[in-house]
Chain A
Amino acid sequence: MAAATETLTAADAFTITLIIRRFLPEVDDEARWESFDVSVYSTDRVLDALHKIKWEQDGTLSFRRSCAHGICGSDAMRINGRNRLACKTLVKDLDVTQPIYVEAIKGLPLEKDLIVDMEPFFEAYRAVKPFLMANTVPEAGKERTQSIAQRSIFDDTTKCILCAACTTSCPVFWTDGQYFGPAAIVNAHRFIFDSRDDAADVRLDILNDKEGVWRCRTTFNCTEACPRGIEVTQAIAEVKQAVLRGKR
């Protein structure tokens, strides 16, 4: 209990070095690495360090964040070569004796500093029709019912927050921007295996494409990158099996 009530004092602060891949389209012809020293506490996250830089050192540093608590999915970035949410990465979990490298997620057009154009990502997401398509009308006054077992089939893929950490960790997506990418397939999975939905065949047909599930090489980068712990590669494999069966 003593540890829980302990408060951190200025003496507990230590300095870390962040090396950030900067790109200011008005100034830079191409991206460059810039180093910042920041004083942080062990309880700080990488997002806090970025805030300190933006608020105290260089106001031009640009990045996205909204909720800052791992729910909105705005601040996915590549930290020490791995895609993570800056708001869920504690400084103390990184090797602070070395500089921490922070850059924008890869495979999407870089707009400014840590901000990329997410439109291709959301385009793929929209293409799999991520909404309930039911042919039946629920009984008057009732909602569509579902058993616990039916729900558990797609429970994992309901956790997606569309942060793009998986899709932009995928080496196939890096070289082939036409590939739907893990996130779109995860969100298709969420409806394909939903017992209340009647359009599984439509989504399976969309993903049974040259740029669909068959491009997946099962490198597991997506599963490793997902900040929500979704078994992305497994979800993709389940969609592949469903495509072969022709139904969910």
Chain B
Amino acid sequence: MSTIDAPRSSPTPARRNGVNWEKWGWIYMRASGVVLVVLIFGHLFINLMTGDGVKAIDFAFVAGKYATPFWQVWDLLMLWLALIHGANGMRTLVNDYATSPRLGKVLKGAIFASAAILIILGTLVIFTFDPCPAVPADQFHLLPSFCPPQ
């Protein structure tokens, strides 16, 4: 009924050319996971344990962090790695559990779109955040108190 290749027949390559996304996805999950452990616990430690702890976190604290390139890079890495890590994890869940290919496509499209939007918005915030923007005179009262008088 079923046939098995003769042992001496030349082995046929099973696969197509191109990037092996499943393999790189698998590697990415492990690599980003290790880096994220450091980034997230470092983030929590600096924000919650050092100095005045959680009471120190306010608008000025965040503004201060985003004024330093070090924290810009730290948060950027955390944003990209975590969102892609999470989105890829949800993609594998869809692969495992979506019963119809069309539903899978829709769900994966939604996951990709939401991750892409969050990454773009987050990156925009990290690099363009200005706690003391130039505003018309009647809106000075909206600026935080530490801003220099305009």
Residues of A within 8 A of B (CB): 119, 122-123, 126-127, 129, 131-133, 171-172, 175-176, 199, 202, 205-206, 208-210, 212, 214-215, 217, 240, 243-244
Residues in B with CB closer than 8 Å to A244 are 23, 27
Known A119-B2, A175-B97: A214·B14 in contact at CB below 8 Å: no
State the Cβ distance, A175 to closest chain B Cβ, in Å: 6
CA–CA, A214 and B27, complex, Å: 10
In order of increasing CB-CB distance, the 7 nearest A-B pairs are: A214-B22, A202-B11, A206-B14, A214-B26, A210-B22, A126-B4, A131-B7
User: Chain B interface residue count: which class?
Assistant: 20 to 34
29 A-B interface contacts by CB (under 8 A) = A122-B2, A123-B2, A126-B2, A126-B5, A129-B5, A129-B11, A131-B4, A132-B7, A133-B11, A171-B96, A172-B96, A175-B97, A176-B96, A199-B11, A205-B13, A205-B14, A206-B15, A208-B23, A209-B14, A209-B22, A210-B22, A212-B22, A214-B22, A214-B26, A215-B22, A217-B92, A217-B96, A240-B26, A243-B23
| 0/1 string, B9-34, CB within 8 A of A gives 1 | 00101110000111101110000000
Q: Does B95 contact A (CB under 8 A)?
A: yes
Residues of B within 8 A of A (CB): 2, 4-5, 7, 11, 13-15, 20-23, 25-27, 92, 95-97, 99
CA–CA, A244 and B31, complex, Å: 14
CA–CA, A119 and B1, complex, Å: 10
Residues in B with CB closer than 8 Å to A210 are 21-22
Residues in A with CB closer than 8 Å to B20 are 208
Closest residue of chain A to B1 (Cβ to Cβ) is A119
State the Cβ distance, B8 to closest chain A Cβ, in Å: 8
CA–CA, A122 and B1, complex, Å: 12
Known A119-B2, A122-B2, A133-B7: A209·B97 in contact at CB below 8 Å: no
State the Cβ distance, B4 to closest chain A Cβ, in Å: 5
Known A129-B5, A133-B7, A244-B27: A175·B15 in contact at CB below 8 Å: no
State the Cβ distance, B32 to closest chain A Cβ, in Å: 16
CA–CA, A205 and B13, complex, Å: 7
CA–CA, A205 and B5, complex, Å: 17
Residues in B with CB closer than 8 Å to A122 are 2
